[in-house]
Amino acid sequence: MADAIERRSSVATVRLTTRESEVLRELAGGASVTQIARGAVYE
């Protein structure tokens, strides 16, 4: 999962489906998709 997020972080526009966004927010404890994409959650 982290590998997929790292790959997406290099993309200017992060495109996620609604379901992917929901799952990522749940995993990140409610962090925004943008923060996840930037790796802010994975310090």
Q: Look at residues 16, 15, 39, 17 and name the one whose alpha carbon lies nearest to residue 28.
A: 39
pTM (predicted TM-score):
0.30
Domain boundaries, the chain: 2-37
What's the confidence (pLDDT) of residue 12? Answer: 44
Could you report the per-residue pLDDT of 1-43, keeping only the tens digit for each?
566 656 655 554 556 677 777 777 777 776 666 666 677 655 4
Q: What is the DSSP string of 1-43?
A: -HHHHHHHHTSSS----HHHHHHHHHHTTS--HHHHHTTSS--
